[in-house]
């Protein structure tokens, strides 16, 4: 008969603490803020500039930055033109996955929730355009870069934050492994 009981400080058998509702809502607050800012900025551009019309808020830097009303049927930054339906379906699938993953994340993952909220908000912001217009409205033109919008920035920002979090966790795991190995060598 196995009478093994975990030690009081043994965390290997304990389930992680579930996230509170206030932690889970972070994803939706960030996504909502992105969607509102994205849709507001796109509507402002659509109402203020004709298609392909340019406005240089600072004429001296126009070669490097200007506002241009453009459309995009592809992915972020104008890649893969003509794939509006495909990218719309992908946005729905990714959004569902993010929402489910947010629900399963344990407590204490607020930066990850922010990264996912940026990605979710960006995906849904462009999805709204695809349903509303059949294309995405882009307007930020920084010289040699493809024209983009707030939703694109949010997706890229979310990906960068996710990459940084992954890198940081990897470093912490390596440090913990080195410390464990050092304790084993000394013991």
Residues near 59 by beta carbon (within 8 Å), at least 6 away in sequence: none
CA dist., res. 179 & res. 43, Å (int): 54
pLDDT, tens digit, 9 for 90 and up, residues 23-47: 999 999 999 999 999 999 999 999 9
- For the chain, the structural domain boundaries read 27-186
Cβ atoms of 33 and 121 within 8 Å: the answer is yes
Per cent of the chain over pLDDT 90 is 63
pLDDT, tens digit, 9 for 90 and up, residues 90-124: 889 999 999 999 999 999 899 999 999 999 999 99
pLDDT of 81 strictly over 50: yes
Q: How many CB atoms lie within 10 A of CB 31?
A: 28
Choose, from 38, 138, 141, 180, the residue flagged as catalytic: 138
Helices 21-48 and 110-133 pack at an angle, to 10 degrees, of: 40
What integer pLDDT is reported at residue 139 of this predicted model?
A: 97
CA dist., res. 107 & res. 58, Å (int): 45
Pair of tokens at residue 60: 């001296």
Choose, from 38, 129, 141, 152, the residue flagged as catalytic: 152
Confidence tier at 179 by pLDDT (50, 70, 90): confident
Active site residue 138: yes
């Amino acid at each position: 008969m196995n009478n093994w009981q975990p030690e009081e400080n043994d965390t290997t058998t304990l389930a992680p603490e579930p996230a509170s509702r206030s932690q889970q809502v972070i994803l939706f607050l960030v996504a909502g803020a992105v969607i509102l800012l994205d849709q507001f900025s796109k509507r402002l551009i659509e109402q203020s500039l004709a298609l392909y019309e340019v406005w240089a808020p600072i004429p001296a830097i126009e070669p490097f930055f200007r506002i241009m009303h453009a459309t995009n049927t592809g992915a972020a930054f104008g890649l893969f033109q003509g794939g509006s339906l495909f990218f719309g379906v992908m946005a729905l699938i990714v959004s569902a996955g993010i929402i489910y993953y947010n629900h399963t994340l344990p407590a204490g993952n607020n930066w990850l929730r922010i990264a996912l909220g940026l990605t979710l908000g960006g995906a849904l912001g462009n999805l709204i355009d695809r349903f509303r217009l059949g294309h995405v409205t882009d307007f930020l033109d920084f010289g040699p870069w493809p024209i983009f919008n707030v939703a694109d920035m949010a997706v890229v920002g979310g990906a960068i934050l996710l990459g940084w979090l992954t890198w940081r966790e990897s470093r912490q795991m390596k440090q913990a492994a080195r410390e464990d190995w050092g304790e084993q060598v000394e013991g």
